[in-house]
């Protein structure tokens, strides 16, 4: 064995010396730093291998003894030696691992075999108790199914939320693109077809919606290049799509049960009195009956009773559907029965109850909706949707004399395809109730605000106004 010492100022330099002297496979025995230098003790690889192998005839070269402490076989001690007492020593030993040797000389086993049972007992007693592994908590199948269902529901909810957000963004993008394209289109129309711009101004000033005006302008024939001719064509189309009752004989002579419905203050009681006067003049007071369901307003019943007293007609008051059913059964011999209902806001839950009460009566009650000509277009549309129910027999336009423009109510009647029976233009009974004339009403709509045709909207505002109403355009369907 040849151990060499190497010194250098740095470890790198000392290792370089070891590699140059003993080769790259040298074994480093130690390294330390003393007096500012690094000292390394190293050994060649061959010398290290000779240290690992013992001498052929040395005790270290003999094979190591192998013990088998199993129950089946235990080696006996060699001859001339005192046998140890396993009974005294084994209880202080840890249980060894059984390993059977490859080859062992067979020795007599007289005492060992006799003590096998006691040896096994002592080995088992000396062995420390092995800790039992904890059983994994059992998971029921129902719990697994519930966990899977919860995970699936959470995934669906997350996917639905993402899809909803995506659809909202797509709708917003679509609306923005439609608005910009419509604005560009109407901006070009103003310069290319000025007669359409003039007709558009007239319709907007008359109170018609931008969606209806846009729809009709897009349907304008190509040969209509003059503003006056285009406006006449527009009036003709509007009058043709305004459904009216040409002859009141279909209402007065046919008879039946009619209920006037609508919000508070639209003139239901006055209109009921006007219709009652027409029926009395045609058939006499014995053929007519009046019913009121207005038990909420102070004096509402007395107002209709005064009209009935003037006309010589009995007025009946009902509170609910049962009373109405009884009253209609008692009045089934009457030619005409007019019902004055309580005024309810279109947003009140009582509207649904009122419609249900009228539809639940045994008689065929025809509902006539009173529309206030002074209301805005959005309000009138909301009223129609609230009171429509299973269907309206017709409508009556009230307060025509108070309206600055009637295009708004005509637009709603045309859009919802209502049958316009009468128009009311005053409080006189029965003079201020007239059959609806489509041509007259359309012409009146354009005449009322003629002075505002050129001042209501600026040229730059028309494209923006028309582009913002592209959604309502899909609701317009004319004949």
pLDDT tens-digit profile of 443-477?
A: 888 887 655 444 455 555 566 566 555 444 444 45
Predicted pLDDT at 131: 53
Tell me which fold the domain 243-435 belongs to: Rossmann fold (3.40.50)
3-class state of residue 41 by DSSP: strand
Domain ranges of the chain: 3-53, 243-435
**78 to 70, 112, 238, 244: CA distances (angstroms):** 19, 14, 130, 133
Say whether pLDDT at 45 is over 70.
Answer: yes
| pLDDT per position as a tens digit, 365-387 | 888 999 999 988 889 999 998 88
Mean pLDDT of 79-83: 47
Predicted pLDDT at 355: 81
Predicted pLDDT at 48: 66
Per the model's pLDDT, the better-predicted residue between 349 and 455 turns out to be 349
Say whether pLDDT at 125 is over 80.
Answer: no
Average pLDDT, the chain: 75
Q: 20-24, 140-144, 206-210 — which is least confidently predicted?
A: 140-144
For 86, half-sphere exposure in the C-beta direction (CA atoms, 13 angstrom radius) is: 19
Of residues 383, 358, 405, the one with CA closest to residue 396: 383
| pLDDT per position as a tens digit, 60-76 | 555 554 444 444 444 44
User: What's the CA gap between 163 and 173, in Å, rounded?
Assistant: 15
430 φ/ψ angles, rounded to the nearest 5 degrees = -105, 20
Residue 245 CA, distance from chain mean position: 44
Q: Residues 6 or more apart from 173 whose CB is under 8 A from it?
A: none
3-class state of residue 301 by DSSP: helix
The dihedral over CA atoms of 435, 441, 443, 448, expressed in degrees to the nearest 10, equals 130
Instruction: Let me know the angle formed at the C-alpha of 403 by 369 and 235, rounded to the nearest 5 degrees.
Output: 85
Using 50, 70 and 90 to split pLDDT, how confident is the model at 332? confident
Predicted pLDDT at 228: 84
Per the model's pLDDT, the better-predicted residue between 389 and 180 turns out to be 389
Peptide bond into 430 cis (omega under 30): yes
Per the model's pLDDT, the better-predicted residue between 32 and 462 turns out to be 32
Of residues 325, 467, 346, the one with CA closest to residue 412: 346
Q: Do the Cβ atoms of 393 and 258 come closer than 8 Å? A: yes
Scan for tokens 């030619």, then name that residue: 335
User: What's the CA gap between 437 and 420, in Å, rounded?
Assistant: 9
């Amino acid at each position: 064995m040849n151990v060499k010492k190497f010194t250098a100022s740095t470890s790198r330099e000392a290792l370089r010396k070891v590699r140059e002297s003993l080769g790259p496979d040298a074994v480093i025995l130690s390294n330390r730093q003393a007096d500012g230098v690094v000292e390394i003790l190293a050994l060649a690889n061959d010398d290290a291998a000779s240290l690992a192998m013992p001498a052929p005839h040395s005790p270290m070269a003999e094979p190591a003894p192998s013990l088998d402490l199993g129950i089946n076989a235990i080696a006996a001690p060699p001859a001339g030696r005192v046998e140890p007492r396993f009974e005294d020593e084994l209880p202080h030993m840890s249980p060894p691992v059984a390993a059977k040797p490859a080859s062992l000389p067979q020795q007599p086993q007289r005492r060992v075999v006799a003590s096998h049972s006691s040896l096994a007992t002592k080995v088992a007693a000396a062995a420390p108790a092995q800790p039992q592994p904890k059983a994994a908590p059992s998971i029921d199948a129902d719990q697994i199914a519930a966990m899977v269902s919860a995970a699936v529901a959470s995934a669906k909810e997350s996917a639905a939320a993402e899809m909803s957000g995506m659809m909202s963004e797509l709708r917003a993008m679509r609306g923005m693109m439609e608005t910009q394209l419509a604005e560009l289109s109407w901006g070009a129309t103003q310069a290319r077809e000025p007669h359409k711009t003039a007709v558009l101004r007239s319709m907007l000033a008359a109170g018609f919606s931008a969606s209806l005006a846009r729809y009709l302008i897009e349907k304008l024939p190509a040969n209509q290049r003059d503003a006056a001719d285009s406006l006449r064509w527009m009036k003709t189309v509007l009058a043709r799509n305004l459904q009216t009752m040409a002859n009141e004989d279909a209402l007065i002579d046919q008879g039946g049960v009619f209920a006037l419905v609508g919000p508070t203050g639209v003139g239901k009681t006055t209109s009921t009195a006007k219709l009652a006067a027409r029926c009395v003049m045609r058939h006499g007071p014995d053929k007519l009956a009046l019913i009121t369901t207005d038990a909420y307003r102070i004096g509402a019943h007395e107002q209709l009773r005064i009209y009935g007293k003037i006309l010589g007609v009995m007025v009946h008051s009902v509170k609910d559907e049962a009373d109405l059913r009884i009253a209609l059964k008692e009045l089934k011999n009457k030619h005409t029965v007019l019902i004055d209902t309580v005024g309810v806001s279109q947003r009140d839950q009582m509207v649904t109850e009122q419609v249900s009460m009228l539809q639940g009566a045994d008689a065929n009650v025809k509902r006539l909706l009173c529309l206030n000509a002074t209301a805005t277009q959005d309000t009138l549309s909301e009223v129609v949707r609230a009171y429509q129910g299973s269907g309206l027999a017709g409508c009556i336009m009230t307060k025509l004399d108070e309206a600055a423009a009637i295009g708004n109510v005509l637009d709603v009647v045309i859009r919802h395809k209502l049958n316009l029976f009468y128009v009311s233009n005053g409080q006189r009974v029965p003079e201020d109730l007239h059959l609806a004339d489509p041509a007259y009403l359309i012409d009146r709509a354009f005449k009322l605000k003629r002075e505002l045709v050129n001042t209501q909207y600026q040229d730059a505002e028309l494209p923006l106004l028309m582009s913002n109403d592209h959604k309502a355009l899909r609701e317009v369907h004319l004949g």
